[in-house]
Structure 1
Amino acid sequence: MAEQLTAVPGIRAVALGGSRARGTHRPDSDWDLGLYYRGTPDLAALTALACEAQGSPVEVAGPGGWGPWVDGGAWLRVDGTPVDWILRDLDRVGAVWSDCRQGRYEVGIQPGHPLGFWSPVYPGEVALGHVIADPSGELTALQRETLDYPEPLRKALVDAAWEADFSVVSAAKSAPAGDRLHVSLCLSRAFGVLTQSLHAHHRTWCLNEKGALAAAAALPDTPADFAERVGEALRGLDIAAVEAAAGVVADVRAVLDRARN
């Protein structure tokens, strides 16, 4: 399939991503294929190939069809197996990588990413993926670059932990009124930021919210019972939960501050 995809005008390379590339998959996990394109991919050719692979009609979303960051793609079932195609603009990935090397990143609104899409995901996907079709060799060359986690990006994402404190303070203002929606959003944001900071502290790419809590908890120096304490705070969503969240944030910030000093 990867070889067929790279024959489609605009598609430059295909990489296996997601849990199967990282070796953390379950037997029922999807197969995620990143379709790296340049210019405008031939949507009609992609649709024809998708329909042929599935044996029934498939809708393929073009660039921007799934939002500003995830871009587009298709959900297929091939011989009963779920296979996801995910479009990635090589020029944009390269631009984000250049920003990351300078310590710059963005967090954008994106369906399917409730805590926002963190732009370092783009080079992280390249670094952690398995390139399976790359006729020109450009994705392979980019992957070699991304294997070295940029120190400016590490510093920027570790410094971002300040927002976790800010979010917990915001939650504390809403908890007495029983505003569970606002409290849950604030605490989720705080813990999401901490997972990014902890991963960056260890120069490890964090790709999305799924599995991020358990992955962060398994990293060296992460405070004891991190995942359990986060879970307890998110179950409560009251004043006690906010106080518990403040303790989690303080412990993680202490780890990060010790590393800086």
Structure 2
Amino acid sequence: MDDALRRLVDRLAELPGVQAVALGGSRASGDARADSDWDLGVYYRGAFDPAGVRALGHPGEVSELGAWGGGVFNGGAWLRVDGVPVDLHWRDLDVVDREIADAEAGRVRIEPLSFHLAGIPGYILLAELAIAEVLIGDLPRPSYPAALRRAAPAVWTNTARLHAAYARSHAAAGRQAQCLATLTVATLQTAHAALAARGEWVTNEKRLLDRAGLRALDGIVDAAEAAPTSLAVTCDRVEDLCAPVWAAADPVRHD
């Protein structure tokens, strides 16, 4: 991290309400390329005004709280700091506390979020903390709760099955785009189930299929044709691909 980014971290930490700043994303996980963005979590408690970030004067876009849908990902900023791309993410520590308690109790909630086809679980906040490098302040460093590992696979599998079943209505009508999109969502949700069963954190969908061993979806989608009979076969193939994960999540089910 160069001097300009260090200065940014220091100035963020001085903003009212900010309790900690952490490095996340690929820079923290070790998967970064030379041109990767720098992802910084700005953890606050109580009142926090993004206008303070805007006043730092870096070019880019700064969102208000709640601008990203009002869920666990409640806003952030895209900045250029001496030409370096930096993403900021607002993180409410009261929400973090709630999500830790929910995860430890095995409660799972999935929210829609732009750019995340499968949706995101509330426990993604724990995943971020687990891999983050805390730069300033103190933050929880959660391990994967046993109750979450037991509960999350079934939650993801149930919604994946629903998507896969509904894809068949698109297939029967020859709606190729909707059929394949719905099957893709189902497979990504199945991948979440597989990694939850292994107690592995997920922070985004970029390598999700690879990590879950479901990358064969690419070939299935590529071979699909618009005719209803072809799309029905595609549905069969996707369900066959996902079936081992579904069975593991619900071993007493035999359909």
CA deviations 1:198-221 (Å, max 9, x no partner) are 11111111122222112222xxxx
1:121 to 106, 124, 127: 124
1:65 aligned counterpart, secondary structure: coil
1:59 aligned counterpart, secondary structure: strand
Corresponding position of 1:195: 191
- 1:39 is displaced (CA, Å) by 1.4
**What is the TM-score normalised by the length of structure 2?**
0.86
CA deviations 1:84-136 (Å, max 9, x no partner) are 111111100110110111111211122232321211101111111111111xx
Measured in 2, the distance between the counterparts of 1:234 and 1:79 equals: 42
2:61 aligned counterpart, secondary structure: coil
Superposed CA RMSD in Å reads 1.8
Seq. identity, %: 36
**2:243 counterpart of 1:250:** yes
1:10 to 2, 12, 17: 17
- 1:77 is displaced (CA, Å) by 1.4
Specify every segment of 5 or more residues in structure 2 that has no aligned partner in the other structure, as ranges: 1-7, 226-230
Corresponding position of 1:215: 211
Measured in 2, the distance between the counterparts of 1:167 and 1:44 equals: 41
Give the direction of change, closer, same or farther, for the CA distance of 1:42–1:165 in structure 2 (3 Å limit).
Answer: closer
Paired residues, number: 236
2:220 to 233, 239, 261: 233
Measured in 1, the distance between the counterparts of 2:194 and 2:64 equals: 34
The answer on whether the counterparts of 2:163 and 2:185 sit within 8 Å (CA) in structure 1 is yes
- 1:41 is displaced (CA, Å) by 1.4
The answer on whether the counterparts of 1:73 and 1:84 sit within 8 Å (CA) in structure 2 is yes
Give the direction of change, closer, same or farther, for the CA distance of 1:40–1:58 in structure 2 (3 Å limit).
Answer: farther
1:169 is aligned with what amino acid?
A
Measured in 1, the distance between the counterparts of 2:164 and 2:13 equals: 47
The answer on whether the counterparts of 1:194 and 1:249 sit within 8 Å (CA) in structure 2 is yes
Give the direction of change, closer, same or farther, for the CA distance of 1:162–1:45 in structure 2 (3 Å limit).
Answer: closer
Give 1:170-181 correspondences, 5 Å limit: 170-181=166-177
**2:157 counterpart of 1:164:** no
Measured in 2, the distance between the counterparts of 1:249 and 1:58 equals: 41
The answer on whether the counterparts of 2:117 and 2:185 sit within 8 Å (CA) in structure 1 is no
**2:32 counterpart of 1:25:** yes
Specify every segment of 5 or more residues in structure 1 that has no aligned partner in the other structure, as ranges: 218-225
Corresponding position of 1:86: 89
Moved more, 102-111 or 156-165: 156-165
- 1:257 is displaced (CA, Å) by 5.7
Corresponding position of 2:62: 60
Measured in 1, the distance between the counterparts of 2:134 and 2:176 equals: 44
CA deviations 1:212-246 (Å, max 9, x no partner) are 112222xxxxxxxx312x11233326222111101
Measured in 2, the distance between the counterparts of 1:111 and 1:193 equals: 15
1:181 is aligned with what amino acid?
A
